[in-house]
Structure 1
């Protein structure tokens, strides 16, 4: 019996010694290299370990140092200074399960293209001071100094969590689909393949972002509440480029915005800026980049808005989104030292904008240098037709500083009804009635008082039924009919009493040798554009008699090339009293009758 006891004691000591040797050997770099080599030879993964750390005082915990894991011929999936494994009784089952899995001081990269097929899970997955890179078909995320965890956690082919769990993460810097944020916090749950974001917060563009929402199993994002305040953003992009970028970010998925608020934002780019902007969007859905709404609203106001050479002060815009229509409930702004107000509706199916009421008050507006060229440009695709039911202008000043034909209207008032200003993507006056008058006007250095015009437009012609103005001592009146067809048929009758007989010379007519006041009578008819030669062909006469009794009649030549923009600028011909050769004088670039 003594021999048996001695043998058992000896065997026990040998076992303890073996355990001690294994314990210490297992924590050497040699054991770590052996484990790494075994994984590399017997699995599709590449593993590199610095050493292992195991303490008898914490028998359920195994620590791996300087860990690097990747699939063969693939980028590194995990690189961490320290990996802590919480051991459980089910560790050696076909599906590895840990009580805890902690990654510390490293880099974790997850992608749908490089998803690993290891069957690994843990009751708690923890990140400490990690850099995280995540890539899915609709999400690209890079995080720096990420801390947080998931309870519980299961590794799957999907980089995003798809099993029921709770997660909380914070990051010093987070780049989501190219949008950079700082001090980000995300808290939420995964429930039945839905990712629910209970609380999201971050510093964005020197402002604060807070929100909540979810992503359903089909990949549809539902934003319950998203709030951006005190944002200050500066870009080198144009406004159209910025909108294109937003469309690219949102065009690959469906988004429902229950509420979006942008408060006190200052945003600036190339040739545009918004100062103290507040924007509220409710009940709007984006489906592959196209908006849909049943009863959505968009409300916007700002201190300043600059777009190109346009400057709006204190603009207010309230929109209602219903089916395929955008209802302009209110638009008002200070503009050009005056006030602009409008309301109406835009129909997406017909790309038609109908403004019920447009009012311009006390404007001081100088036309752009190339305003005629801009009117010839094609409107944007979303604007096929423009209708204005009611149009008014009060106490405004309109100026054109073009040196070839400058003009100015002072104390300008106008009234219009049922105006059609764009038809099939072409600017013009295609229908409606318009009248305007001013207290004073200057047309190419000719002063007029109380000019007044009344016109009616149809798809066939524009008819000026009344056109009148006072000169210093007389009155000038006229009527015009201009066809809307490509040949632009013109009929003009203009008469003046006690007016300078050479007044038309300043407005595009050829040189007139008579001086002084008198009576004039101009009759013109023909086509401004010949469809075969693209030349103007006008017939008629200008008859003049001054206050000394001198008379002169001038005729336009029937065959003379006149640029289309110089509609009635015609050369002088011999009159009935004198035999003088016809000449072709230089004329101003623009004519008020053209």
Structure 2
């Protein structure tokens, strides 16, 4: 019996000696290299360890120095100065499952991960301490540096290096996302069945700061519960539709957005000192806001193309009927514009209670006629202005075929239906217009004045009055609302230049000086059709030299 006892004691001492020897060998550079080579030869991964550290003061903690790990035949996926493994009793049943894995001072390059494979490690916590993560993919590439993170639990699978379900806390010193630079980012949230929930997110971007909370579902749709942007300075090479396109492409549905003192500059648009509060917008959709949603907007300046809006402001709220526009105002073209009204969902009509233009100096774009004839979008079937007011404005058309200008223009209108069935026009309503001076195709006139009434049948222009070289010219006109656009025009003048109408398309007359004139015309103002071949009419001239008459048929003097 004594012999058996001595045998087992000696065997135990030998085993203990082997363990102690193996322990110290593993802690040596030779042992770390041998362990690395053994794992690399017997698995589909390559592993490199400089040294292994362990202290009995922390018996369940092992540190690996100069750590490198990746797939066979691929560059390293993970490189770290130190990797600390926190052991647990679970190691006896699952050797690859650790209590915690901590990576310190290193880099994770996601370009080197092999698709469809899972890292054969798990941990209750994956901790990153001053780690960089690189994803060089085009379109969605990023580089994150100075990362401090805790992911719990960490269970990588074939679809995700992070796993399918975990909670995380993260700090990122610098993030390069495509062309954008972000810094000092802090985020906390969770991933559950491919749904990402960012319970809190804040950081600095473009010399400003941001904060918020948001979620992304398994289909890639974003729901922004709250987002705040302060003092953002942002520059992009995209035009405005392309800049907003990600809202549609990623189906981003914001909840509450607050923007303070932001400046965004694009190639042909810019907004400076933007302040905006947006609640429950509906993007992308035909409705701007969901029911109960509100919009408050103001900026120092908004530039879009050739239009420069100074101090634009807007307030709107979604209602069960559509969108109530409490106010819109801006300084534009050296004047001011203001409006209020509502957009009605049922009939897709924009109904403005009032529309006011004051002190404008506006030059019509060269393509304004094409713009007037182009159909409106699906969400806008008609436009009605209950009260229109225009005062002290200058309107210029520089079209060389027939330029005109109206100075100190004043106008009022009531119940003006300016669009119907997606087409601009003057479909109904009453208005009155006058100006101090005007020029039509290089012919100066003074004090033009007219009244206009429109209904479903035709447009009537009455009380048409003006002075030409101090001679009065009065008349009236009608324009059919049918597609043929048949019109009639009657003008009578006393002591006016006899060549008056040559500036407006009538052939030159042999009479000169001043006289009394009577012009009667009919024709068709059809879209995309020449006017002259449709014109028939007569011109009567009475001068001290005698009476003259000219007749026109199909645009030709007979």
- Scaled by the length of structure 1, the TM-score of the pair is 0.82
What SS is found at the alignment partner of 2:508? coil
1: distance between equivalents of 2:285 and 2:367?
Answer: 38
- 2:551 is the alignment partner of 1:550: no
Tell me the equivalent position of 1:585: none
Structure 1 segment 195-210 matched on structure 2, within 5 A: 196-210=197-211
2: distance between equivalents of 1:433 and 1:84?
Answer: 83
Deviation at 1:207, TM superposition (A): 1.0
Deviation at 1:472, TM superposition (A): 3.3
2: distance between equivalents of 1:468 and 1:188?
Answer: 73
Deviation at 1:307, TM superposition (A): 0.9
Q: Cα 1:68–1:285, aligned 2, differ >3 Å: closer, same or farther?
A: farther
Deviation at 1:80, TM superposition (A): 2.9
Aligned residues: 554
Structural RMSD (CA): 3.6
2: distance between equivalents of 1:145 and 1:507?
Answer: 74
Q: Cα 1:536–1:218, aligned 2, differ >3 Å: closer, same or farther?
A: closer
**Residues 98 and 123 of structure 1 are in contact (CA less than 8 Å); yes or no, is this contact kept in structure 2?**
yes
**Residues 134 and 159 of structure 1 are in contact (CA less than 8 Å); yes or no, is this contact kept in structure 2?**
no
Tell me the equivalent position of 2:494: 497
Tell me the equivalent position of 1:61: 61
Deviation at 1:340, TM superposition (A): 0.6
Q: Cα 1:294–1:191, aligned 2, differ >3 Å: closer, same or farther?
A: same
1: distance between equivalents of 2:504 and 2:264?
Answer: 46
**Residues 188 and 199 of structure 1 are in contact (CA less than 8 Å); yes or no, is this contact kept in structure 2?**
yes
2: distance between equivalents of 1:6 and 1:113?
Answer: 55
What SS is found at the alignment partner of 1:91? helix
- 2:467 is the alignment partner of 1:470: yes
- 2:426 is the alignment partner of 1:429: yes
2: distance between equivalents of 1:447 and 1:162?
Answer: 77
Q: Which runs of 5+ in 2 are unaligned?
A: none
Q: Which runs of 5+ in 1 are unaligned?
A: 559-569, 574-594
Structure 1 segment 269-288 matched on structure 2, within 5 A: 269-286=266-283
Which 10-residue stretch deviates more, 145-154 or 98-107? 145-154
Which 10-residue stretch deviates more, 141-150 or 114-123? 114-123
**Residues 277 and 295 of structure 2 are in contact (CA less than 8 Å); yes or no, is this contact kept in structure 1?**
yes
Tell me the equivalent position of 2:449: 452
Tell me the equivalent position of 2:97: 97
Q: Cα 1:370–1:529, aligned 2, differ >3 Å: closer, same or farther?
A: closer
Q: Cα 1:108–1:227, aligned 2, differ >3 Å: closer, same or farther?
A: same
Q: Cα 1:400–1:174, aligned 2, differ >3 Å: closer, same or farther?
A: same
2: distance between equivalents of 1:293 and 1:95?
Answer: 53
**Residues 193 and 217 of structure 1 are in contact (CA less than 8 Å); yes or no, is this contact kept in structure 2?**
yes
**Residues 33 and 48 of structure 1 are in contact (CA less than 8 Å); yes or no, is this contact kept in structure 2?**
no
Which 10-residue stretch deviates more, 491-500 or 378-387? 378-387
Tell me the equivalent position of 1:226: 227
2: distance between equivalents of 1:351 and 1:66?
Answer: 67
Which 10-residue stretch deviates more, 392-401 or 187-196? 187-196
Q: Cα 1:108–1:486, aligned 2, differ >3 Å: closer, same or farther?
A: same
Tell me the equivalent position of 1:85: 85
What SS is found at the alignment partner of 1:375? helix
**Residues 195 and 215 of structure 1 are in contact (CA less than 8 Å); yes or no, is this contact kept in structure 2?**
yes
Tell me the equivalent position of 1:564: none
2: distance between equivalents of 1:47 and 1:324?
Answer: 65
